[in-house]
């Protein structure tokens, strides 16, 4: 985790929330909201419907009671219809209270039951407290003629609301189950949908990441139109990248030409001057000039090599490379240089083959061998051995020079990578870096060690055998 | 005996008149009382309409199972019981055959809720709001003195009964008994339910009125009189009481009618004033278990299962519900009794 | 040796001509490929030094075109050090390449190597008293004995042989003998002089020490 994080951070990629998770959560939140809203609506509908049912029954009961009201001999009479109460008990076990009153005169029922205000003709409803609880009450008013006098009679019927609550709660509970089920289903489906819609993106990413870093061919994948801008942008980027790589190569070549030609003139002129001047101090100066020019030229070469290695390593060729032949060619090319110091290049060769980019391996070996020659004392032997063993091909270059001292190899690599100057081994660092990069591009490595026989350095180029 | 009966009637009538509002009187008439001390300090106070000789086996069984609970059993008429509970008398359990009064007690908030595995096992029609629980199903029956019917074909329906009574005024004059609706809550319940179910009721009442029917407060007295031969027929007697007497008194018989039978549910409730709620719940559970035929012994009263038989008949037991309030209404009662009076006490 | 230098940069060309002249080589200069063609029509060269970037074309293309007509060894001069360039040059018929700026000692060494490889190196004998010195073969015959000389010994002896009776300072010898990158001290000259003296012993040739000035070979 931390390694991954560190490497991602190093590449400047700081992942935010994954799109898939974000989308799924977002959809889940929406679904949850919808489920909640629909549950709330169903609950309130259920409550309202149950309430309305109760109201209707109450109203029907109250009305049927009111219809029995009549006047007999100046007396208001009524009969509570059995059905009116039977009806109230039909759907729930709610407590029932009633009151029939002519004005404030209670004719029958619960004297303390106060119904909602009412006008003749229309039942009026109300939820009101009665005996420590809330009851739903309906009042119906009917005017009866008694003794030629219009007497308004109010029939109030009240019922507790347990049944309504029970029905509403039952419906609400069922709606809740349904909402939860719908939520789970929708979340599952949205996760699936998100994943399948992101699949083209993933396959594209995979496609891009599995190709070589310098494989700058345009993407030719079919995909949803939403991805097309990304594909086009990627292709444009790769196009520009390709162009700029080409331009930098040209630029490097051109720069090399421009730098080296004047260097060559300076060097040649300095050498000519060296022959004509007599004074030792001037000679020293000229020698220093020549040496400086040589250092510059060497650095330029190495920088170019380095650029070339980085470039080729990105898009590694995979061909069979015959290491002995390659080593012989490199040794031949460097032999004139070696001979100038009476250094022999001794080749000890046994068959070895690897798969890779011959030019890169050649370059690696040339840099290593060049170093060895450069820092070997005159009249010594640089040994190049090529061999195969343990699944690895190995080219070892050992010299009788000053070696790398006691420093651990890894440490030394670190130093030359930083460009530090190893005492007496000026400029060797970049050459080794080039070699190391060329090798690691092949899955190989560079080993720095000591030449056991001659006491100098031993640099091994190790590659996976083909 | 007569004085007591009279007093009882008066008080019962008074109690019936006040179905709503708070009853202020703390006093109420009791008919019988027996105390069964327990080993513990708790005493369960039960007020009931069931006679002690009927219920005692159950009480003894209960004490055998719960020896620590003492039982104070008070017998009262259904209207007295109603009055007592409304008046705030402290009882832990109220058992009554007057479904309508029991219902109004629960409806008016005098019962507390109770739930247990046993109450949950009760069929829906046998409970209301977890406050009112039926533990018996007792039909109203016609008890006859077989000797008084000799030579006559036994009627099978109320219509045949009406015809037979009308056609034999000499034989049955002054020999027909039924509840005095003005004093008997149960009689009133049976009468109103029957009037609602069948118009034969009013014709029967008229015929009985013409035959100078004798009016009673209670089932047992009617059965006594039938047994002694004073009465040829007692109408709407509590079947459970009658069954017990069949063995003792030869010549006593229940007249099976095929048209319908009213079935009353004896109900229990735990009053809000209850103190020994746990003990009350234990006894209630025991009652209900017996009522569902799951008791340890033969139930003392007809269990609810008779409902199954009742289902075969056109009418089931009287339903627990707000409809029970209808005939308790002051105005309804007045007009019903007026009509009954007109029919029964014609002259 | 006779060189044809094909190089468009006049300044560099002048310097190279001058510098090779110091070593006693004859150098013709051609600034363009057509110029080079003209030179090759009329003269024979031991070696062609060919720049790759020329005004009228790429030196490597010229090489590929004219390889079957011209048998002269070619060393490509390049400012580009990319291996692909080098390989391209070698593939197209160059015998060797050298990157600008080059060490003249290295150029000479490479020339010698190329010529030796091609078998085009003339037999060249210098008689030193009773001994015969063959610089191209790197041998010194003295009676029946044939001694192989090492590269630096050959070049030192060559310097002495070409300048008999002249006093040569250590510094002069140093500059002629060693490329400038190696940190060689004047003591090294003493070592090589010592070796040559031993090998020339009895040949009637001596390398004398001129105190404070240097060395002189006297026959």
C52/chain A closest Cα distance in angstroms: 10
Q: What is the mean pLDDT of chain B?
A: 84
Which residue from C minimizes the CA distance to A303? C81
Give the gap in angstroms from C-alpha A48 to the nearest C-alpha of chain B.
23
Rg (CA), chain C: 19
A285, B47, C103 from A281: Cα distances, Å: 6, 139, 22
Q: pLDDT category, A419, cuts 50, 70, 90?
A: very low
Per DSSP, the three-state class of A136 is strand
**pLDDT value at C83 more than 70:** no
Contact B322 A88 (CB under 8 A): yes
From the list C86, C6, C90, the residue with the least C-alpha distance to C47 is C6
pLDDT in tens, A110-168: 988 888 888 887 899 999 999 888 899 999 998 888 888 888 899 999 999 888 888 88
Note whether C82 contacts A304, CB cutoff 8 Å.
yes
Nearest to B332 among A80, A97, A162 (CB): A80
Instruction: Return the residue of B nearest to A72 by Cα.
Output: B335
CB atoms A89 and B109 under 8 Å: no
Minimal Cβ distance to C151: which of A287, A294, A339? A339
pLDDT surpasses 70 at C170:
yes
Tens digits of residue pLDDT in A166-211: 888 888 888 899 889 988 998 888 888 888 888 888 888 787 777 6
The answer, yes or no, to whether residue A440 has pLDDT greater than 60, is yes
B68 — pLDDT class (breaks 50, 70, 90): very high
- Whole-angstrom distance, CA of residue A40 vs CA of residue A46: 10
pLDDT at B6 over 50: no
**Cα separation, A435 vs B294, whole angstroms:** 98
CB < 8 Å to A374, chain C: 181
B140 and B261 Cβ atoms separated by less than 8 Å:
yes
CA distance A395 to A350: 10
- Which residue ranges form the domains of chain C, and what is each CATH number? 2-118 (3.40.50.2300), 126-218 (1.10.10.10)
Count CB pairs under 8 A between chains A and C: 119
Q: Could you identify the residue written with the tokens 């005692």? A: B56
Structurally, at CATH architecture level, domain A317-466 sits in 2-Layer Sandwich (3.30)
Domain ranges of chain B: 2-137+264-318, 138-262+331-344
Domain boundaries, chain A: 211-315, 317-466
Rounded to two decimals, the pTM is: 0.56
Q: Does C136 touch chain A (CB under 8 A)?
A: no
Which of A177-181, A291-295, B262-266, B318-322 is least confident? A291-295
Superfamily of domain B2-137+264-318: Periplasmic binding protein-like II (3.40.190.10)
| CA dihedral (C99, C104, C106, C108) positive or negative | positive
What is the average per-residue pLDDT within A323-333? 90
Which residue of B129, B196, B335 is in closest CB contact with A82? B196
CATH number for the domain running over B138-262+331-344: 3.40.190.10
Which of B127 and A211 is assigned the larger pLDDT? B127
Counting Cα atoms < 13 Å in the Cβ hemisphere of A25 gives 6
Neighbouring chains to A with at least 3 Cβ pairs closer than 8 Å: B, C
CB-based contacts of A454, cutoff 8 Å, min separation 6: A380, A381, A383, A398, A399, A400
Residue A410, burial from CB neighbour count under 10 angstroms (0-12, 13-18, 19+): exposed
pLDDT at B196: 86
> Of A259, A302, A249, whose CA–CA distance to A416 is shortest?
A302
- Widest CA span in chain B: 63
User: Could you give the 3-state DSSP secondary structure of residue A75?
Assistant: strand
């Amino acid at each position: 985790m931390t390694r991954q994080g560190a490497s991602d951070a190093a590449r400047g990629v700081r992942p935010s929330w994954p799109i898939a998770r974000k989308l799924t959560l977002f959809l889940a939140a929406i679904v949850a909201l919808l489920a909640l809203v629909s549950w709330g609506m169903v609950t309130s509908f259920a409550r309202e419907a149950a309430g309305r049912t109760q109201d209707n029954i109450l109203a029907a009961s109250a009305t049927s009671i009111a219809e029995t009201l009549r006047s007999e001999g100046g007396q208001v009479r009524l009969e509570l219809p059995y059905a009116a109460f039977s009806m109230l008990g039909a759907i729930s076990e709610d407590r029932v209270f009633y009151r029939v009153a002519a004005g404030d005169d209670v004719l029958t029922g619960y004297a303390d039951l106060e119904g909602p205000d009412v006008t003749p003709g229309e039942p009026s409803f109300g939820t009101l407290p009665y005996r420590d609880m809330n009851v739903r009450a309906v009042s119906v008013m009917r005017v009866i003629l008694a003794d030629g006098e219009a007497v308004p009679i109010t029939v109030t019927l009240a019922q507790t609301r347990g049944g309504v609550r029970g029905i509403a709660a039952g419906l609400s509970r069922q709606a809740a189950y349904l909402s939860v089920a719908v939520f789970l289903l929708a979340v599952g489906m949205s996760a699936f949908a998100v994943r399948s819609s992101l699949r083209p993106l993933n396959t594209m990413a995979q496609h891009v990441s599995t190709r070589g870093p310098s494989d700058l061919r345009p993407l030719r994948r079919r995909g949803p139109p939403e991805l097309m801008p990304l594909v086009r942008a990627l292709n444009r980027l790769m196009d520009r990248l390709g162009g700029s790589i080409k331009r930098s190569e040209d630029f490097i070549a051109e720069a090399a030409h421009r730098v080296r030609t004047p260097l060559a003139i300076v060097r040649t002129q300095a050498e000519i001057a060296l022959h004509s001047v007599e004074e030792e101090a001037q000679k020293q100066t000229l020698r220093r000039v020549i040496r400086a020019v040589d250092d510059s030229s060497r650095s330029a070469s190495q920088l170019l090599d380095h650029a070339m290695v980085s470039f080729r390593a990105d898009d590694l060729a995979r061909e069979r490379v015959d290491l002995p032949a390659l080593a012989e060619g490199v040794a031949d090319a460097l032999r004139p240089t070696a001979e100038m110091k009476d250094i022999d290049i001794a080749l000890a060769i046994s068959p070895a083959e690897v798969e890779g980019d011959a030019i890169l391996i050649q370059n690696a070996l040339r840099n290593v061998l060049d170093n060895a020659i450069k820092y070997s004392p005159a009249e010594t032997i640089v040994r190049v051995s090529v061999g195969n063993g343990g699944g690895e091909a190995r080219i070892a270059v050992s010299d009788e020079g000053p070696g790398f001292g006691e420093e651990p190899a890894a440490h030394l690599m670190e130093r030359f990578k930083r460009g530090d100057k190893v005492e007496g081994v000026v400029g060797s660092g970049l050459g080794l870096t080039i070699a190391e990069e060329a090798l690691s591009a092949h899955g190989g490595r560079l080993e720095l060690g000591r030449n056991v026989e001659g006491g100098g350095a031993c640099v091994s180029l190790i590659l996976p055998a083909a | 005996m007569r004085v007591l009966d009279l007093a009882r009637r008066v008080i019962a009538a008074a109690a019936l008149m006040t179905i709503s509002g708070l009853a202020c009187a703390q006093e109420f008439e009791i008919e019988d009382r027996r105390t069964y001390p327990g080993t513990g300090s708790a005493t369960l106070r039960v007020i009931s309409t069931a006679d002690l000789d009927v219920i005692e086996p159950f009480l003894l069984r209960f004490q055998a199972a719960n020896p620590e609970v003492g039982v104070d059993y008070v017998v009262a008429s259904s209207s007295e019981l109603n009055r007592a509970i409304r008046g705030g008398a402290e009882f832990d359990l109220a058992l009554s055959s007057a479904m309508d009064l029991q219902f109004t007690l629960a409806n008016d908030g005098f019962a507390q809720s109770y739930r247990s595995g046993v109450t949950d096992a009760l069929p829906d029609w046998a409970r209301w709001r977890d406050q009112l629980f039926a533990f018996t199903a007792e039909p109203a029956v016609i008890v006859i003195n077989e000797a008084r019917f000799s030579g006559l074909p036994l009627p099978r329906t109320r219509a045949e009964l009406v015809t037979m009574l009308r056609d034999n005024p000499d034989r049955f004059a002054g020999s027909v008994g039924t509840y005095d609706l003005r004093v008997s809550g149960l009689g009133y319940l049976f009468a109103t339910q029957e009037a609602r179910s069948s118009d034969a009721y009013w014709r029967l009442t008229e015929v009985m009125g013409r035959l100078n029917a004798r009016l009673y407060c209670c089932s047992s007295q009617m059965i006594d009189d039938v047994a002694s031969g004073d009465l040829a027929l007692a109408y709407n007697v509590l079947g459970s009481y009658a069954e017990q007497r069949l063995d003792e008194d030869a010549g006593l018989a229940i007249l099976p009618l095929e048209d319908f039978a009213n079935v009353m549910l004896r109900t229990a409730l735990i009053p809000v004033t209850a103190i020994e709620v746990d003990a009350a719940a234990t006894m209630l559970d025991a009652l209900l278990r017996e009522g569902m035929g799951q008791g340890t012994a033969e139930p003392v009263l007809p269990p609810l299962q008779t409902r199954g038989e009742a289902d075969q008949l056109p009418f089931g037991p009287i339903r627990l519900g707000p409809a029970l309030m209808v005939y308790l209404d002051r105005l309804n009662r007045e007009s019903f009794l007026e009509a009954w009076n007109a029919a029964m006490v014609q002259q | 040796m006779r060189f044809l230098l094909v190089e468009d940069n006049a300044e560099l060309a002048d310097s190279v001509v001058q510098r090779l002249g110091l070593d006693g080589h004859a150098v013709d200069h051609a600034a363009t490929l057509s110029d080079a063609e003209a030179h090759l029509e009329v003269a024979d060269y031991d070696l062609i030094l060919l720049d790759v970037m020329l005004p009228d074309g790429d030196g490597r293309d010229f090489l590929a075109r004219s390889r079957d007509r011209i048998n002269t060894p070619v060393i490509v001069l390049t400012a580009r050090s990319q291996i692909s360039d080098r390989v391209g040059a070698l593939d197209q018929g160059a015998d060797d390449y050298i990157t600008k700026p080059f060490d003249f000692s290295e150029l000479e060494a490479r020339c010698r190597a190329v010529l030796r490889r091609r078998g085009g190196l003339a037999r060249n004998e210098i008689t030193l008293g009773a001994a015969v010195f063959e610089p191209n073969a790197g041998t010194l015959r003295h009676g029946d004995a044939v001694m192989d000389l090492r590269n630096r010994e050959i070049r030192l002896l060559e310097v002495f042989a070409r300048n008999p009776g002249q006093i040569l300072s250590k510094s002069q010898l140093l500059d002629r003998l060693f490329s400038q990158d190696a940190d060689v001290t004047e003591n090294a000259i003493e070592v090589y002089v010592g070796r040559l003296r031993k090998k020339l012993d009895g040949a009637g040739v001596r390398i004398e020490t001129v105190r404070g000035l240097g060395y002189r070979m006297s026959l």
